[in-house]
Structure 1
Amino acid sequence: MIDSHRRLLAGTVFAACALVLAGTAPAYGADAPPAAAAPAADPAAPRDPIVVTARRLDEARSAVQKSLGADSYGITNAAIQALPGGDNQQLNQIMLQLPGVVQDGFGQFHVRDDHANLQYRINGTILPEGLAVFGQTLSPRLIDHFDLLTGALPAQYGLRTAGVIDIHTKSGFANGGEASIYGGSHDTIEPSLEYGGSTGQTNYFVSADYRHDSLGIENVNASRTAVHDATDQFQGFVYLDRILSDSDRISFVGGYSNQWFQIPDPVGLTATSPVAVNGQTSFASNALNERQLERTGFGQVAFLHDSGPLTVQLGGFARFSALTYRPDPTGELIFNRLAQQAFKDDLALGLQADASLRAGNGHTVRFGGFLQHDHTISDTQTAVFPVDGTGVADAPPLSIVDNSTKSAVMASLYVQDEWQLSGKVTLNYGGRFDYYDAYRQENQLSPRVNLVWQPDALTTLHVGYARYFSPPAFELVANTSIARFVGTSGAANSLVDTTPQAERQHYFDVGVQRKLAPGLTVGIDGYYRLSRHLIDEGQFGAPIILTPFNYAYGRIRGVNLYANYQRGPWLVYANFAAAKAQGRQIESSEFSFGATELAYIASHFITLDHDQTYTGSGGISYAFRDGALKGLKLGSSMIYGSGLRSDLTLPDGTDVPNGAHLPAYAQFNLAASYKWAKPGVELRFDVTNAFDSKYEIRDGTGVGVGAPQWGPRRGFFFGISKDI
């Protein structure tokens, strides 16, 4: 614990240095020329030079990391507010409204049938992944807009490549904010506060919220209420920037989340033990008391320079993440013959540089690098029974302590050229080199190429290829000494424990987008991916900590269709995706699997547990802008899934891992809000799962699936907010 506090202190010092640096920067001394994109209420009125410069630098930053050729789906803050729940909901619920995003338990979601492998960027700087399973580190309140980038990504995007969630934060400019309180079903209560503004050359934005409810994790059954499923969550965020000149800006982004969860209990089960545990030989499942605590803190400092043909952003970041699992020692020993107290933390420190050089003759060269160092601590104390030759407990429980530390280094370099071949054709080509040194040392040189053709002003076609290199999530790789558990009730299925490897992919993507009418855009994207050492993750044990493992061979293919209409007071969208993900031959973390399961997967391609054949989402909202109903907004959203995978037993008794799928489901949500502009007061009313659909996300079977999980039942929520 001393080391974890040192890590948190390091992140705090990092943030403090950023604040001092921003606060002591030299004063802005010259007016910037007006930017064409800068909005003004009155074209004849003078513009604030600070705002104009800030917006121009935002555009320059975006140009450094242009997503040419990738599939990009964006959501603005206005669109978030139009969704049921607005920014009171968690980020994963918003992500489910995008094409090809699949819902899973524990607050997870999958992009294009990949498990995790997601990269978050805040204002262009990478936010390293953490240990959180249930919690969402980032609150929607900090988002001005964000894009999900997927497909054949340009060379500046690497390591985590299923999807890049590129977040642009709110930044202030106009002094003001909002205080709100939101709550309703499932004992939900959520107060929040946000405020932003500017003073001189400095802009800032801060937000904070607290959430309590009695449905922190998906219920393990279909009942309306869950047993032992409360959660308390706090999130805070700060953005600060200072304009140094008309070409330079320094900025800081920081955040902290502290989230506590009860693990929901099944009801009506009783387990017995031949050996008494704390005086008990039986235990009821609804009396279990398991808990998990997740904490994350991060800070980022970035310096942006834009002058002439060269734009450069230099950034540094720190991220601390910790997960603590507190078991029910008596109950888990009786039910599982094992009770493990687990603590893991990870401290990541890194540097990032990105640059864009407009070289002339239709060429824009982009280049940069990335360096990250991780240090993780894993401490476990496991209570198990000694067992006799038949595997039956024959003595009182004993405790096995297994503590370890490990470090990792990731480094990347990239260069690419955006070549404007003509007014209608653009070729973006390049490559990146990635190096990874942790439990094993690996590297890869990865070429990338995208061709974009715009035959007319309404149509855009793209085709791309990307070679990907994705290491396993370092902080999740199990480093338990399984040999210590031989002869106990915690013994693994085998002593084979190959270290997970980096996944290596060939990714092909093609798509077309067409504007059919003013405000109406439709598109279709198809992709095919071939993988060696395909990475998946599973829950193996009571602590809800996911463990990476590899399939030797993988193949994933699919198609996304989407349509968006935004004009006047209307916002309408619809998405549909079909996908298939398969893997063969498990080649790492073998001790987590049974011999029969390993043998079947060694000779058969099986469907991955997180595969969903068909996925859909859609929504509609209307904002009244005139008349007696001015200020009223009505909206709805929905998600559809054909069902995640479950195990299948054939008539001959053969078990097929992930051979079946759960029933299809659809969830519809409703929203209504009304704002009185003059006092700045808004009321909102939301209904989730309006038709009270009972649907199962997981049934507890499947490769690496730990427990059943059900979608939420119908809920009613009310909120009131006041401008400040």
Structure 2
Amino acid sequence: GRKIQLTDIVTPFVSSAVGSHDNLVHLRGNELSLNTFINGVSFFDNPHQLFTPGLSPDIIQSVNIITGGFPAEFGNRFGGILDIVTRTGFDANNHGSVTIGAGNYLRDNASVDFGGHSERLGYFFYAQAFQSDRFLNTPEPRRLHDRGRGSRSFAQLDYRADTNDFFKLALTANGTNFELPNTTEDALRGRDSFQRNREQTAVFSWEHLFGSSSAVSTSLYERLASARLLPTSDPFSIQAGGLRNDITLGAKSDYSLFIGSQHAIKTGIDLMLLRLREDFIFDPRGNEVEIEPFAFRGRKSGGQASFYIQDQVRPFKKFTANLGLRYDQYSVVTSGHALSSRVNLAYALNSGHTVLHFAYNRFFAPPPIENLLVSASLGFGGNPPRISRSNHFEAGVTHSLLDNLVFRLTGYWRSDRNSFETTELANVRIFAPTTFDRGKAYGIEFSARLSEIKRLGLSAYFNYTAQRAFQTGPISGGFTVEAVGPGERGPAAFDQIHTGAAGLTWRHHASGFWASAAFEYGSGTPATIPNDAGEKVSLRLPDHFVANFYVGVDLFRKERCGLGLQFNVENATDRVFAIAKESEFTPIQFSPPRFFSGSLRLRF
């Protein structure tokens, strides 16, 4: 199906991905785990649609999803890294497309793109608009007050000054407006809370080649991300509103040196300035909430300086080691620094068809920036969310068979000092970063990938993960009024033990017809729910199985102008199931119902 949100491309291909409350995706037992690198530059902003408008998958030329064995060049978030290269006019070759999509629940979208180039200048432009009557996961099986719409735009200019110098400017401007979903009680009161997210990003890069053995790449970058919560107009519901403005400015430079076939050395520095502005009001207005009314105004500037060096060395033919060190110095509401070692080893057997791999990585992860200031102000004892420090071990084997089929088995274990969580302020969708004193996550992942068998037109994938995630008190930061004592341990809210995904695609190349099926399974996440006597009971939400089906045809593929048609059925059984319960003070959230949609794409 057509993917509108960036997180939609993660779930089918990462075996540990767990869908959760408010459309969040958790990887390998991490709460806020996705880290997007755009043309080599990363930002602290959370890519999930509750926090930012997000990046459209349509502008991606290629993406490498990394969930373990992290080289030293990557920092800040370590559940899953999306290393994205954006589309360029040098590949578009004076072509473009127009896509129109429609579906039930007002799931309509439209986009246009065009790119071309001269001898030295490449240009690519993209614009998208979308809407949905089922924008966020809802606190009841039926939809009440959940409409959202948004637009995204992207432009990239590439300039080849000569054979050794390349310049690139990538620009984005995105926005979403959406209602906050209601319960039946909220709807009867007339609650009409609304949120507006905005984001603007610019990345300017220069790459210079020193012959064929070395290169330097330097980038200047900035981002403005904002979220405005408009309070409800009814006189009975909890009153909450506010504005968050996060500004990021930075400069990054990387130097690469290749010494024969044995060494690929890379070193770099990243200097980032963060300017956070937060204004919030909160009033329970007689509702049973244990948080007192407050008005908050926060202003804080800080940043991070990072340096790394790594070497991918091949001391002999079958053995490869990626060894590195990374230093991070961070200061916003809390300060800290760390020297992190990265050891990633791979040994090939059976003429390269079997590869054994092992990794030990130390992680230094500053807290998320969304609502960080108010979290630091209102946390237990005035303690701010803390920097997370982790030790991560991974080992596994990859085996390829007949050049089409690849099996991968991986086990991982991670121990955290200060484990991230988010807590919601009294069901008004203001989430603040929180840290538990300790965290632990471990699991086993199995995946199989069948590349397309050309004569049959078949390709497939299968993913399965068995994993656990635990967190231990006490808590720092956040809005929580749950007193978690020192040493008190429990499963994380995203602790889904069994997760599976599978897919099969068939293509008839002569006609351009194709059909695909995708399946997802989850064993359920933990929740605390009061029973009939009012006592709190810990249980697991029921397991779920989701089936999605897609069919389409690509016409006039050999002509300059082509036409693509697609029809989708998602959650074909129309089973609406409980996804997650963020805390005992917020309601359960439910999955989307059955979706029908279709799209038409004109290529020119």
TM-score bracket, shorter-length normalisation: over 0.9
- Match of 2:472, SS state, is strand
Q: Within 1, Cα distance between the matches of 2:46 and 2:16? A: 24
Are the equivalent residues in 2 in contact too, given 1:196–1:206 (CA < 8 A)? yes
CA deviation after TM superposition for structure 1 residue 322, in Å: 0.3
**Displacement of 1:364:** 2.3
In the TM superposition, what are the counterparts of 1:259-658 in structure 2 within 5 Å?
259-267=176-184, 269=185, 284-285=188-189, 287-306=190-209, 307-331=211-235, 334-336=236-238, 339-360=239-260, 362-383=262-283, 401-455=295-349, 456-479=351-374, 496-567=381-452, 568=454, 569-589=457-477, 592-595=480-483, 598-599=484-485, 602-626=486-510, 630-647=511-528, 655=536
Query: Among 660, 670, 693, which residue is 2:575 paired with?
Result: 693
User: In the superposition, relative to structure 1, how do residues 329 and 478 fare at CA in structure 2: closer, same or farther (>3 Å)?
Assistant: farther
- Could you tell me how far apart the structure 1 residues matched to 2:290 and 2:27 are? 43
Residue 660 (1) aligns with residue 548 (2) = no
Q: What amino acid maps onto 2:490 in structure 1?
A: I
Given the superposition, is the C-alpha separation of residues 495 and 436 from structure 1 closer, same or farther in structure 2, using an over 3 Å criterion? closer
Matched, 1:169 2:86: yes
Query: Alpha-carbon deviation of 1:702?
Result: 2.9
Letter in 1 for 2:599: G
Q: Structure 1 residue 614: deviation in Å?
A: 0.9
CA distance 1:231–1:199, shift in 2 (3 Å): same
Q: Give how far 1:116 is off.
A: 1.1
Partner of 2:9, secondary structure, is: helix
Q: Does 1:717 align with 2:604?
A: no
Question: Following the alignment from structure 1 to structure 2, what is the Cα–Cα distance between the partners of residues 158 and 167?
Answer: 15
Counterpart-to-counterpart distance in 2, 1:196 and 1:241 = 11
Cα distance in 1 between the residues matched to 2:460 and 2:182: 40
Query: Alpha-carbon deviation of 1:474?
Result: 2.7
Structure 1 pair 719–405 and aligned structure 2 pair: CA distance change class (3 A): same
Greater strand fraction, Structure 1 or Structure 2:
2
| Aligned partners of 1:612 and 1:641 also within 8 Å | yes
Distance 1:548 1:141, change over 3 A: same
Give the greater-gyration-radius structure (CA).
1
Q: CA deviation at 1:243?
A: 1.0
Q: Secondary structure at the match of 2:89?
A: coil
Offset, 1:391: 10
Query: What amino acid sits opposite 1:722 in the alignment?
Result: L
Please give the alpha-carbon distance, in whole angstroms, between the structure 2 residues aligned to 1:132 and 1:616.
22
1:497/1:591 contact within 8 Å kept: no
Deviations 1:64-112 (A, max 9, x none): xxxxxxxxxxxxxxxxxxxxx234x322222110221111122210111
Query: TM-score, with normalisation over the residues of structure 1?
Result: 0.78
Name which of structure 1's ranges 228-237 and 378-387 shifts more when overlaid on structure 2.
378-387
1:195 and 1:391 map into 2 onto residues whose CA distance is 52
Give secondary structure in 2 for the equivalent of 1:518. coil
> Equivalents in 2 of 1:179, 1:361: separation in Å?
45
CA distance in 2 between counterparts of 1:190 and 1:241 reads: 28
Counterpart of 1:275 in structure 2 is: none
Of 57, 73, 97, 2:12 maps to 97
Q: Partner residue of 1:488?
A: none
- Where in structure 2 are there 5+ consecutive unaligned residues? none
Distance 2:587 2:171 in 1: 35
The 8 Å contact of residues 318 and 348 in structure 2, kept in 1 or not, is answered as: yes
Q: Which deviations, in whole Å up to 9, do the C-alpha atoms of 1:142-189 show, x marking residues without a partner? A: 012211112131111112122110112221231111111101110122
Secondary structure class of the residue paired with 2:22: coil
Q: Distance in 1 between matches of 2:326 and 2:289?
A: 51
Q: Give the AA of the match of 1:640.
A: Y
- In structure 1, the partner of 2:103 is 184
AA aligned opposite 2:496: Q
More helix, by proportion: 1
Task: Please give the alpha-carbon distance, in whole angstroms, between the structure 2 residues aligned to 1:392 and 1:509.
Answer: 42
Runs of 4+ in 1 over 6 A off after TM superposition: 390-393, 649-654
Kept in 1, the 8 Å contact 2:390–2:415? The answer is: yes
Counterpart in the other structure of 2:566: 684
> How has the CA–CA distance of structure 1 residues 240 and 592 changed in structure 2, closer, same or farther, with 3 Å as cutoff?
same
Q: 1:346 to 1:603 in 2, by over 3 A?
A: same
The number of equivalent residue pairs is 592
Q: Where in structure 2 are the equivalents of 1:59-70 lying within 5 Å?
A: none
The 3-state SS of whatever aligns with 2:495 is coil
Q: Deviations over 1:566-589 (max 9, x none)?
A: 122222111111110001112312
Question: Match of 1:674?
Answer: 553
In the TM superposition, residue 318 of structure 1 has moved relative to its aligned partner by: 0.4
Distance 1:536 1:382, change over 3 A: closer
| Contact 2:464-2:498 at 8 Å conserved across structures | yes
Structure 2 residue aligned with 1:200, among 100, 114, 119?
Answer: 119
> Would the alpha carbon gap of residues 351 and 623 (structure 1) be closer, same or farther in structure 2, given more than 3 Å must change?
same
Q: Distance in 1 between matches of 2:535 and 2:487?
A: 14
Deviations 1:432-475 (A, max 9, x none): 11111111210011111111101222111110101111010133
Cα distance change, pair 100–583 in 1 and its aligned pair in 2 (3 A): same
1:351 CA displacement: 1.0
Rounded Cα–Cα distance in structure 1 between residues aligned with 2:516 and 2:138? 27
Deviations 1:691-720 (A, max 9, x none): 11221112x4636x7332211111111211
Query: How much does 1:684 deviate?
Result: 1.1
Change in Cα spacing, 1:419 to 1:640, as seen in structure 2 (3 Å) is: same
- Tell me by how many angstroms 1:245 deviates: 1.6
Which of the numbers 138, 141, 158 marks the counterpart of 2:75? 158
Contact 2:270 2:305 in 1 (8 A): yes
- Cα distance between partner residues in 1 of 2:289 and 2:108: 48
Per the TM alignment, residue 591 of structure 1 is displaced from its structure 2 partner at its CA by: 5.6
